[in-house]
Amino acid sequence: MRKTLLIMALLLACLGLNAQNYHINLHNNGAVVYDDDVNAINDIRFQGQHPANILINNEFGTTTFPISSFDSITFVKQSAPPVGDTVYITYSGSSVIVVNPFANDGVTVSTNSANVTVNATMANVPYVVSGSSANGSLTIYSTSSFYLVLSSLSLTSGSTAAINLASNVGAALTLRGDSDLADNANSSLNATLYAAGNLTVNGTGLMRVTGNAKHGIAVDGSMTVLSGAIRIVETDSDGIHCGGNLTWNGGTLNIVSPGSDGLDISGNVTIQNGDLSIHTTAEAQRCIKVSGIFTMSNGTLTLNASGEDSKGIKADSTVNIHGGQLTIEHSGDMSKGIKADNDISITGGTINITASGSTVMQVVNNQNEPAYCTAIKCDTDINITGGNFTITLPTSNHGGKAISADGAMTIDGGTFNITTQGNGASYTVSGSTKDAYTSCCLRSNSNMSILSGNLTLSSSGTGGKGIKVGTTSNDATLTIGVPNADNDDLVLNVTTSGERITVSSGGGGGGWPPGPGQGGDYANPKGIKAQGNLTINSGNITVNCTQSQNEGGECIESKATLTINGGIIEAYSVKDDAVNAAQNLTINGGIYYAHSDANDGTDSNGNMFLNGGLNISNGARSPEEGFDCDNNQFKITGSTSIGTGGGTSNPTQNVCTQPSLKINTQQGYAIQILKSDGTVICTYQCPTFTGGGGGGNSMVMLFTDPQLQTGQSYTVKYGGTISGGTNWNGYYTGNVTYSGGNQTTVNVNSMVTTVSAGGGGGW
């Protein structure tokens, strides 16, 4: 009523303006929706209750305006024409009210019941569409770009798209209020909202879309979203299908259960801001499918894919993540959280992925082949320099991989918390050939470099691995840390607890010396395994293999050469070697500790070289050793090294340049070694055996230090007690007090000198 009284007052004022050549302008949101010479107006009337419309009659006829279509009236001189007019289209059931101020300027609006067709040759025409119709549509043909505003529109089409922007020109779509669009299953077009050209979306409103025929939104060109909210509640096919690029700069998106992909984009996808959520349940479908490059730099993206062989993000090209928050839950068997056919590059952001699907056997070239459920999978190379990762593969995910590259993998930053819990399994490849699949936190078929970052990796399923590099046909290398770098730049913690998997019970290899149950072929859990060379340069590295039933759980293993140049390394294994190299093992520096309850502390199946660093290695009872060099080419040129166990490999005297002491002692004894002038060289608390085996309490301690020199005599104290100082895995430094016990004097006249310190001979 207040608005009506205001209008009446203005119209009365109009009577006194006739002779002054004024125009009357109706406005909506700052735009002029009607302009006419006051002298040309015959009469102005109200229509309907409250009233509903205003009718303006001039020499060309009567124009009807809903009261809701304008918010103000002004009078201006003819010399000051209006700036910006608007076409208003208001649906009302089976009819439409049209306000077209450009009828004489190239804009034709025709109606057939509630089906509206616009033909425009005028550029930058604004259209405001509102009202409601259960059987209507809007089709716009335009030779130039235009503006379209949905203002609380509810529109369902029975035969075509609810909104068809049919011309290959740019359209700017503004959302005001809550709008609902839907089509019919028999629609002649493939989307509820269709744009033949480029589409830009903005505004503060919400647009709900239901695609009964096929897609929710289809854009032949590129689509850019600046603001506003889009909710696609249901589609027969893709939520948004785009022939060009999709750029999301703001606003929200929610896609629920599309019949196919959530986003299917033929160009690139760029997410720079906004809040996007997509849930797909269909088999072999993708929340986001992009033929080009996927890039995310900010915003929030939440994806849920529950269909078998589904994907959270599937890129035919590259995936780049530089920021934002990405959360993916995928539960379908063989599903992938992120899958890229080309490289994956991650420099920042928060990435949370839960991959709860399982592995499925497929037949490829007449052979069974496992298809894994993997959180991040790349067919080429993965490069990570930042970001916060939380990746979980629960017990339902059997044999899955957290991050896997068919090519190389480089990690140079970021924080990782990766957990795999599902068991692996054996399977028949073909005929009598058998193999096994196992879960893994980090997996690459080609070379891997872990240079910096904070990584916590845990694998608890049978056969599970923390890090695996290379294949039986690809001797790929693993590099950990950067030479001469600060060790705090890289923190790597790896834990495995699952038992081994029996692949075949007869034949096969096994370790040496042979032991019970080693006649078969097994898929063993490993903390860190490289099929080729493994080099450790720096970092704080802790590896625990806590399998309690069967051997095979080695902490650090290279199937070629293992080289340690630096770092702080602690490796603890319950049932197998803590550290193993199939060919050669070289320690040049760093701080190194290896311990096994039931096997060798450090084992090289080839040569072993101790050139530097502080190295402590504890093996189990006889016949296990602290340092086990199978080829007995054991060369010592430097380092402070202590090896304890039921026995030890003897250093090769004709190649060593630094002497060592082979001390026969007892488990649990405290040992102190002094120079003839009383200077303490070493204070060490021998460990206590926890595993089985022979040898009683006898223990062999191999000790070498640069302060040992041939031709000198040394005092060895044993069986006493140690107090004070700083203890690192039994090695004491600082203000240490040694009391009690016994002592003996030894003259070092060769590269290996045997000392009796309360024990018998070793293995």
The pLDDT of residue 507 is above 50: no
- 3-state SS, residue 9: helix
Burial 440-450 (b: 16+ CB within 10 A, else e): bbbbbbbbbbb
Query: For 40-54, 310-324, 629-643, which range has the lowest pLDDT when averaged over its residues?
Result: 40-54
Q: Do 555 and 573 contact (CB within 8 A), yes or no? A: yes
Determine, yes or no, domain membership for 556: no
Determine, yes or no, domain membership for 494: no
The pLDDT of residue 513 is above 60: no
The pLDDT of residue 517 is above 50: no
Rounded CA-CA distance 260/263 in Å is 9
Residue 499 DSSP class? P
Residue 12 DSSP class? H
Rounded CA-CA distance 256/574 in Å is 49
Maximum average pLDDT range among 25-39, 360-374, 404-418: 404-418
pLDDT tens for each residue of 744-762? 999 999 999 999 998 754 4
Determine, yes or no, domain membership for 427: no
Cα dihedral 594→596→600→602 (10° resolution): -10
> Do 164 and 297 fall into the same domain?
yes
pLDDT score, position 46: 80
> Do 170 and 291 fall into the same domain?
yes
pLDDT score, position 80: 42
What are residue 479's DSSP bridge partners? 449, 535
- 3-state SS, residue 289: strand
pLDDT score, position 31: 58
Binned at pLDDT 50, 70 and 90, residue 315 comes out as very high
Determine, yes or no, domain membership for 162: yes
> Do 308 and 162 fall into the same domain?
yes
Determine, yes or no, domain membership for 220: yes
> Do 161 and 68 fall into the same domain?
no
Range of the domain at 289: 150-342
> Do 640 and 729 fall into the same domain?
yes
> Do 65 and 162 fall into the same domain?
no
> Do 185 and 269 fall into the same domain?
yes
Determine, yes or no, domain membership for 470: no
Binned at pLDDT 50, 70 and 90, residue 54 comes out as confident
pLDDT tens for each residue of 522-539? 889 999 999 999 999 999
pLDDT tens for each residue of 125-142? 999 999 999 999 999 999
What six digits make up the tokens of 536?
Answer: 């450790």
pLDDT score, position 601: 96
> Do 175 and 65 fall into the same domain?
no
Domain boundary among 297, 326, 342: 342
The pLDDT of residue 4 is above 80: no
pLDDT score, position 396: 96
Residue of 613, 620, 615, 542 lying closest to 577 (CA atoms): 620
626 exposure class (CB count in 10 Å sphere: 0-12, 13-18, 19+): buried
- What's the sign of the alpha-carbon dihedral 702, 707, 711, 713? negative
pLDDT score, position 21: 65
Could you tell me the CA-to-CA distances from 747 to 377, 464, 718 in Å, in that order? 60, 49, 17
Compute the average pLDDT of residues 679-696.
84
> Do 73 and 158 fall into the same domain?
no
Could you tell me the CA-to-CA distances from 224 to 153, 340, 585 in Å, in that order? 21, 23, 57
Residue of 207, 158, 218, 209 lying closest to 185 (CA atoms): 158
Rounded CA-CA distance 319/303 in Å is 16
- pTM of the shown model: 0.88
Domain boundary among 342, 368, 402: 342
pLDDT score, position 55: 77
Query: For 336-345, 372-381, 733-742, 753-762, which range has the lowest pLDDT when averaged over its residues?
Result: 753-762
Rounded CA-CA distance 35/529 in Å is 79
pLDDT score, position 521: 86
> Do 192 and 332 fall into the same domain?
yes
Residue 51, preceding peptide bond in cis (omega within 30° of 0): yes
Q: Please count the residues of the chain.
A: 763
Domain boundary among 44, 77, 110: 77
Rounded CA-CA distance 454/91 in Å is 59
Rounded CA-CA distance 26/86 in Å is 10
Determine, yes or no, domain membership for 130: no
Compute the average pLDDT of residues 601-625.
95
The HSE-up count of residue 454 (CA atoms within 13 Å, CB side) is 7
Q: Do 215 and 190 contact (CB within 8 A), yes or no? A: yes
Which residues, 6 or more positions from 633, have their beta carbon under 8 angstroms from its beta carbon? 606, 607, 608, 652, 655
The pLDDT of residue 514 is above 50: no
What six digits make up the tokens of 201?
Answer: 């979306």
Looking at the structure of the chain, the number of domains it has is: 3
Q: Is 605 left (phi over 0), alpha (psi -120 to 50) or beta?
A: alpha
What amino acid is encoded at 649 in this protein?
S
> Do 184 and 300 fall into the same domain?
yes
Q: How many other CB atoms sit within 10 Å of the CB of residue 695?
A: 22
651 exposure class (CB count in 10 Å sphere: 0-12, 13-18, 19+): buried
Rounded CA-CA distance 409/469 in Å is 9
Query: For 168-182, 267-281, 358-372, 378-392, which range has the lowest pLDDT when averaged over its residues?
Result: 358-372
Determine, yes or no, domain membership for 583: no
Q: Do 161 and 191 contact (CB within 8 A), yes or no? A: yes
Residue of 635, 555, 631, 647 lying closest to 592 (CA atoms): 555
Binned at pLDDT 50, 70 and 90, residue 38 comes out as confident
What six digits make up the tokens of 531?
Answer: 């099929």
In DSSP notation, 148-213 reads EEEEEEEEE-SSS-SEEE-SSS-EEEEEESEEEEE--TT-SSSEEEEESS-EEEEESSEEEEEESS
Which residues, 6 or more positions from 317, have their beta carbon under 8 angstroms from its beta carbon? 290, 291, 292, 293, 294, 340, 341, 342
pLDDT score, position 763: 38
Which residues, 6 or more positions from 609, have their beta carbon under 8 angstroms from its beta carbon? 584, 585, 586, 587, 635, 636, 637
Work out the mean pLDDT of the chain and round it to a whole number. 91
Binned at pLDDT 50, 70 and 90, residue 622 comes out as confident
pLDDT tens for each residue of 195-215? 999 999 999 999 999 999 999
Query: For 14-23, 337-346, 431-440, 737-746, which range has the lowest pLDDT when averaged over its residues?
Result: 14-23
Binned at pLDDT 50, 70 and 90, residue 56 comes out as confident
Residue of 399, 382, 401 lying closest to 467 (CA atoms): 401
Compute the average pLDDT of residues 636-654.
96
> Do 336 and 188 fall into the same domain?
yes
Residue 8 DSSP class? H
